[in-house]
Amino acid sequence: MTIHFKQHETFRDDYSFANSPECVARLPFPFPDDEYMYSMNLEPHVPVGDGALRAAFDIDEHYISECRDRAITLEKDPGMHYVAAPHMMEAQWDLLELIMESYARDYPEHFSLTRDGARWHWVNRLLGIDDTFTFGDTSTLPYEPMEYITRQAQGDWILQEERDAMLYWGAGIATQRADYSLRFNLGMSWNEFHGPVPLVKEIGMLDRALKFLLRLRVGHPVRRLNWSLTVNPRLEVSAESLPEWAPDRTIVTPENAGRLVYLRIELQPLHRLPRSNAIVFPVRTYLVSLEEIANNNPAWAKRMHRVLKTLKQDLVDYKGFTRYRDAAVAWLAQFDDGRNEEVAKAE
Which spans of this chain sit near ligand HEM (rule: CB under 6 A)?
Answer: 38, 40, 42, 158, 160, 167, 180, 185, 193-194, 196-197, 200, 209, 213, 224, 226, 228, 279, 281, 318-319
Q: How many CB atoms lie within 10 A of CB 200?
A: 16
Q: Of 42 and 333, which has the nearer Cβ to ligand HEM?
A: 42
Q: DSSP 3-state assignment of 189? A: strand
Closest CA to 69 of 56, 81, 54: 81
Strands 43-44 and 222-231: antiparallel
- As measured in angstroms, the least distance from the Cβ of 206 to ligand HEM is 7
- As measured in angstroms, the least distance from the Cβ of 220 to ligand HEM is 14
Size of the chain in residues? 347
Q: Of 100 and 209, which has the nearer Cβ to ligand HEM?
A: 209
Contact 291, 331 (CB under 8 A): no
Q: Of 158 and 290, which has the nearer Cβ to ligand HEM?
A: 158
- As measured in angstroms, the least distance from the Cβ of 112 to ligand HEM is 30
- As measured in angstroms, the least distance from the Cβ of 68 to ligand HEM is 25
> Alpha-carbon Rg of the chain, whole angstroms?
20
Q: Is 224 known to be catalytic?
A: yes
Q: DSSP 3-state assignment of 93? A: helix
Q: Of 197 and 333, which has the nearer Cβ to ligand HEM?
A: 197
**105: DSSP letter:** H
Candidates 224, 249, 259, 323; catalytic one: 224
Q: DSSP 3-state assignment of 188? A: coil
Q: Of 3 and 153, which has the nearer Cβ to ligand HEM?
A: 153
Contact 115, 100 (CB under 8 A): no
Q: DSSP 3-state assignment of 309? A: helix
The neighbouring-strand residues paired with 43 are 223
Q: Of 5 and 38, which has the nearer Cβ to ligand HEM?
A: 38
- As measured in angstroms, the least distance from the Cβ of 158 to ligand HEM is 4
- As measured in angstroms, the least distance from the Cβ of 285 to ligand HEM is 12
Q: Of 98 and 209, which has the nearer Cβ to ligand HEM?
A: 209
Counting Cα atoms < 13 Å in the Cβ hemisphere of 198 gives 10
Closest CA to 96 of 152, 50, 56: 152
- As measured in angstroms, the least distance from the Cβ of 140 to ligand HEM is 29
Residue 10 CA to residue 5 CA, distance in Å, equals 13
Compute CA distances 2 → 16, 112, 253, whole Å. Answer: 22, 17, 38
User: Read out DSSP for 168-183?
Assistant: EEEEEE-SS-SS--HH
* Residues designated catalytic: 224
